[in-house]
Structure 1
Amino acid sequence: MSTTPPFLDHALWREHLYSGGWRAASATLDVREPATGTTLTRTGAASAADVATAAAAARAAQPAWAATAPRERAELFHRVAALLQQHFDELALYVTRETGAILPKGQHEIREAIAFCRVAAAMPLHAQGQLLPAAPGKLSLARRVPLGTVGVISPFNFPLILTLRVVAPALAVGNAVIVKPDPRTPVSGGLLIAKLFEEAGLPAGVLHVLPGGVEVGEALVDEPAVPMISFTGSAAAGRRIGERAGRLLKKVSLELGGSNALIVLEDADVALAASNIAWGAWLHQGQICMASNRVLVHESLLPAIAEALVAKATHLPVGDGATGQVALGPIIDERQRDRVHAAVTESVKAGAQLLAGGTYEGLFYKPTVLSGVQPGMKVFEDETFGPVVNLVSFKTDDEAVALANAGAGGLAAGVLSASVGRALAVAQRLKAGMVHVNDQTVNDDAVNPFGGPGIAGNGHAHGGPGDWECFTAWQWLTVKDAPTPFPF
């Protein structure tokens, strides 16, 4: 039995925000466990005024943080990673409960959070510019400088890693950060991160966490002292944020998912293909921006793959993921469940065949298989964000590519085939930010660029080699031995 004292201290954030330390909020937010309906905790709820206060504090604290010695900044991230590792089981279980996940998903978030911190720890020690050609007696440098304050609006589905993948590199290169986590997951998506960095020794005022709704997000986007916004969420919300931030000439990183395509060529192994499809479409109830939304299957394999998926859908248990006894947990809330169900029923009315699932009890939506899906149907055009396999038939590789690229943009895509060369030829024609040969679409690592075109976002990739580009700006610096005279 572990003797490690608990790390989660709900008294810190009970009716509090993290902004200049833990301080009382004027409103509160009850955090519900999706699987049981019980209240996990009660946090503070921010207001637009809190955003302005946090932005002023962040702007004041950021220069000293940016001037902190690189090794000191690096060591802070190693300490955060150590805290995550030390309290791994406790934190994984809490993330599982708050997000309505199965336990392996909660454990995955903690493992990836550790990886993000370790990658961020290396960033202050990287070369941060280039020596440019110049005339004798003059130095010409292009150097990377922090933007100032980065605003982060993060989602409910993988709240810890989808927040930390922005917070960690943004801090590592010398920015201050203000986080607005989704009000359904304010601890995993923000307040837990605040406690980690506070305990690791991050100076006061550099990081702020303001749980809240749309009005808080709008205030963050509108705040003049926040020159960059990073948003992960729906395409509709992303468009509004992009338009609003664009009028203010802010830098914006939008990661919006999209209707991702997984192509199964006729030489693929049926059992392996069905396994990949089930994982890519049903993991975390399909509430993943990289989920395999449109599954394009060669017509010769469609009956066998449909049969295999129906068998899996029938036998995969659905329930409280924290018990460790189920494969799928609940949808995050009633609104999202109803959105998923409406997409399924609308597509069936339009001609899709419901082969399995399509029903729910409470927030528990059964793994669902639709066949005969065609362009124009709701589940073909839009990201379902639920546990739904949408089977689309094709005859030729060219048709598969055309169907895959028929959407408004894709974050991820995959191709399954016994021939790597053929699969690669198909993959290279796909319009997606991340493409996988002989794998499903749900893939991510702490070191890969993450982003996609069209409805997937603004094409701006961060992560790995993209982080310096995302969270800093180029500055040209020249130095002369002495001033030179000019003809004026």
Structure 2
Amino acid sequence: MSTDTTLETPSETVSPILKSVNPATGEVIAEWPVHDADAVTAAVGRARVASAAWRELGFDGRKKALLRWVSYLVNHADELSELIRKENGKPLEDAYLELILAVEHTDWAAKHAKKHLSAKKVSPGMLLANFEAVIEERPVGVVGVIGPWNYPIYTPNGSIAYALAAGNAVVFKPSEFTTSIGNYYADAFAKANPELPSGIFSTVNGLGATGAALVASGVDKIAFTGSTATGKRIMAAAAERMTPLVLECGGKDAAIVADDADVNAAADGIAWSSFANSGQTCVGTERIYVVDELADQFVAAFKDKLKTVAPGSGDTATYGPMTMPSQVEVVRSHIADAIAKGGKAVVGGPESVRAPYIEPVVLIDVPEDSLAVTEETFGPTVTIKRVKNNDEAIALANASKYALASTVYSKSKGMEIARQLRVGMTSVNSVLGFAGVAALPFGGVGESGIGRIHGEQGLREFTRPHSIARQKFAIPGMELLSFSRKASTVKLIKQVIKLKHGRHT
């Protein structure tokens, strides 16, 4: 996901003030102090103190606090949605949709943490039948979250809400492009829970140096969303302290329009997946593979869906500006490379790039080795390729070094095709469905990241299992874990083991 700046060293000199800017107008929305390494360390220290009180609340107490936070966000949705529109650039309805998705996930995490993380008894087995065996899930402690700007609430919330529900404190570094949103989000938690100590969920603000300081601060886990290149640097830095992490990185997500697809439904869904949020969606479609017999029909339907799709900042705009100015040149270079290598623009073209807006661009006949196919574009462009059959579509979809999400349209073969895709998530006969289902884990494979947020796996991502074996009573003469063990005991055990395990054929 191309949503982050370079990870810098904590010693880098930075401006003491970070300006929050409206990407559509360049207007300065707010100014925030930049937190240096000492300030980050202090924030983590406060979080560590607060984590004890948060942990002691237990599942029920944390559930109440998280649901109060949810209510506050819902009751202030208009205010927060307007801030998202202003600082991130997306239309107001899309901002509200993002907020509600985050609310639904927080509600799920709050209500399901007890079920999935409570102590669990397991069988001790025959040899230690006099033992009780228990697995207890412990919070890791303090989680450092480094978030993106494209979905400045929904995406980091997948780590924040689940880490909090699991009993951890969180220190959140929002993107420098959406600092006001991140701070509003954390302040909302405090305002909804004034009786709780400060530091349970707090923010640190800044550029790459602040993120690097958070990684080096002694947090117990790092959750990062951003580019694969920066993810690798964070992983290397975290390795110095053996800090575990969860990374959601780049995507080059493919959509397959199979030989029995509903073409109109596929065109409608994939058009939204490709161009919503100005194409700045890590799980949005960037490559489309259509079986040849449906290709002409699909391209015509796809173009038709885009007739009224246009960027802008007004109430009628389909999507907003590019949030990060430097991404405009990335999009421009991918379009130019695709055309230079023989691709054709059937919607838009190089002239569609007019910063801070980029109009929809649809490219066909683009070679598979072009930047528009191999690298994350993260803008309102998409490639369409004809394929001989479903198998070729699967093979090309799997050929990317990225493996985050995918889409399949097929009336009868959707699940069969989905199971052959090397990705973390697939939506069948719709787009991005997995992102809205709180019980489903979210994450990638290969260079798209490691670990999972959301669902039961997302809760467990922020705990560590503690295994406890308690001897309930002693069996005279049957001591195995002792120097006083008798030869007759071992002889008996050998006979029992042979009867149990020695007759398999």
Q: Which whole-Å CA distance do the structure 2 matches of 1:415 and 1:310 have between them?
A: 19
Q: Which amino acid aligns with 2:345?
A: L
Residue by residue, what CA displacement relative to the aligned partner does 1:366-395 show, whole Å, maximum 9, x if unpaired? 011100122111011111110012111101
2:122 matched to 1:128?
no
Tell me which of 152, 169, 174 is aligned to 1:176: 169
| Alpha-carbon spacing, 1:301–1:203, altered in 2? closer, same or farther (3 Å) | same
Q: Which amino acid aligns with 2:18?
A: L
Q: Which amino acid aligns with 1:374?
A: P
Match of 2:65 in 1: 76
Match of 1:427 in 2: 418
> Contact conserved, 1:139 with 1:478, CA < 8 A, in 2?
yes
Q: Which whole-Å CA distance do the structure 1 matches of 2:407 and 2:203 have between them?
A: 36
Match of 1:413 in 2: 406
Does the residue aligned with 2:447 lie in a helix, a strand or coil? helix
Match of 1:221 in 2: 215
Give the TM-score normalised by the residue count of structure 2.
0.86
Does the residue aligned with 2:153 lie in a helix, a strand or coil? helix
Match of 1:208 in 2: 202
| Alpha-carbon spacing, 1:337–1:57, altered in 2? closer, same or farther (3 Å) | same
Q: Which amino acid aligns with 1:357?
A: G
Match of 1:13 in 2: none
Match of 1:268 in 2: 261
Match of 1:17 in 2: none
Match of 1:316 in 2: 309
Q: Which whole-Å CA distance do the structure 1 matches of 2:288 and 2:15 have between them?
A: 47
Q: Which whole-Å CA distance do the structure 2 matches of 1:352 and 1:338 have between them?
A: 19
Match of 2:498 in 1: none
Give how far 1:360 is off.
2.6
Match of 2:248 in 1: 255
Q: Which whole-Å CA distance do the structure 1 matches of 2:104 and 2:260 have between them?
A: 36
Superposition pairs of residues 121-200 of structure 1, within 5 angstroms: 121-126=110-115, 127-134=117-124, 135=128, 138-188=131-181, 190-200=182-192
Residue by residue, what CA displacement relative to the aligned partner does 1:89-137 show, whole Å, maximum 9, x if unpaired? 1211211221110122101122112212211321453251211334566
Q: Which amino acid aligns with 1:213?
A: L
Superposition pairs of residues 377-388 of structure 1, within 5 angstroms: 377-388=370-381
Q: Which whole-Å CA distance do the structure 2 matches of 1:303 and 1:247 have between them?
A: 54
> Contact conserved, 1:74 with 1:123, CA < 8 A, in 2?
no
Give the TM-score normalised by the residue count of structure 1.
0.89
Give how far 1:48 is off.
1.5
Deviates more, 1:303-312 or 1:226-235: 303-312
Equivalenced residues, count? 457
Give how far 1:307 is off.
3.0
Q: Which whole-Å CA distance do the structure 2 matches of 1:457 and 1:211 have between them?
A: 24
Q: Which amino acid aligns with 2:448?
A: A
Does the residue aligned with 1:354 lie in a helix, a strand or coil? strand
Tell me which of 439, 451, 464 is aligned to 1:447: 439
Q: Which whole-Å CA distance do the structure 1 matches of 2:57 and 2:16 have between them?
A: 35
| Alpha-carbon spacing, 1:236–1:26, altered in 2? closer, same or farther (3 Å) | closer
Give how far 1:481 is off.
5.7
> Contact conserved, 1:449 with 1:463, CA < 8 A, in 2?
yes
Runs of at least 5 residues in structure 2 that lack an aligned partner in the other structure? 1-13, 485-505
Give how far 1:340 is off.
1.1
Tell me which of 43, 51, 57 is aligned to 2:40: 51
Does the residue aligned with 1:373 lie in a helix, a strand or coil? coil
Q: Which whole-Å CA distance do the structure 2 matches of 1:278 and 1:124 have between them?
A: 36
Identical residues among aligned pairs (%)? 31
Does the residue aligned with 1:117 lie in a helix, a strand or coil? helix
Q: Which whole-Å CA distance do the structure 2 matches of 1:332 and 1:259 have between them?
A: 19
Give how far 1:138 is off.
4.3
Q: Which whole-Å CA distance do the structure 2 matches of 1:312 and 1:397 have between them?
A: 24
Give how far 1:200 is off.
1.9
Does the residue aligned with 2:468 lie in a helix, a strand or coil? strand
> Contact conserved, 2:259 with 2:389, CA < 8 A, in 1?
no
Tell me which of 434, 443, 449 is aligned to 1:457: 449
Match of 1:7 in 2: none
Residue by residue, what CA displacement relative to the aligned partner does 1:131-186 show, whole Å, maximum 9, x if unpaired? 13345664331100000111101000001111222111111221111111100001
Give how far 1:205 is off.
2.1
> Contact conserved, 1:78 with 1:118, CA < 8 A, in 2?
yes
Q: Which amino acid aligns with 1:397?
A: N
Superposition pairs of residues 16-31 of structure 1, within 5 angstroms: 27-31=16-20
Q: Which whole-Å CA distance do the structure 2 matches of 1:427 and 1:97 have between them?
A: 38
| Alpha-carbon spacing, 1:450–1:79, altered in 2? closer, same or farther (3 Å) | same
Q: Which whole-Å CA distance do the structure 2 matches of 1:314 and 1:405 have between them?
A: 31
Q: Which amino acid aligns with 1:307?
A: A
> Which one scores higher on RCO, CA 8 angstroms, separation ≥ 6?
2
Q: Which whole-Å CA distance do the structure 1 matches of 2:278 and 2:268 have between them?
A: 15
Tell me which of 239, 243, 251 is aligned to 1:246: 239
Q: Which whole-Å CA distance do the structure 1 matches of 2:113 and 2:409 have between them?
A: 39
> Contact conserved, 2:132 with 2:469, CA < 8 A, in 1?
yes
Match of 1:14 in 2: none
- RMSD across aligned C-alpha pairs, in angstroms? 2.1
2:465 matched to 1:474?
yes
Q: Which whole-Å CA distance do the structure 2 matches of 1:50 and 1:303 have between them?
A: 58
Q: Which amino acid aligns with 1:326?
A: A
Residue by residue, what CA displacement relative to the aligned partner does 1:178-223 show, whole Å, maximum 9, x if unpaired? 11110000122x2012211111224212222012111111111122
Q: Which amino acid aligns with 2:53?
A: A
Give how far 1:303 is off.
2.6
Does the residue aligned with 2:453 lie in a helix, a strand or coil? coil
Superposition pairs of residues 284-363 of structure 1, within 5 angstroms: 284-320=277-313, 323-358=314-349, 359-363=352-356
> Contact conserved, 2:434 with 2:440, CA < 8 A, in 1?
no
Does the residue aligned with 2:386 lie in a helix, a strand or coil? strand
Q: Which amino acid aligns with 2:100?
A: R
Does the residue aligned with 1:257 lie in a helix, a strand or coil? coil
Give how far 1:289 is off.
0.6
Q: Which whole-Å CA distance do the structure 2 matches of 1:171 and 1:434 have between them?
A: 24
Q: Which whole-Å CA distance do the structure 2 matches of 1:68 and 1:270 have between them?
A: 52
2:92 matched to 1:106?
no
Does the residue aligned with 1:179 lie in a helix, a strand or coil? strand
Q: Which whole-Å CA distance do the structure 2 matches of 1:238 and 1:355 have between them?
A: 35
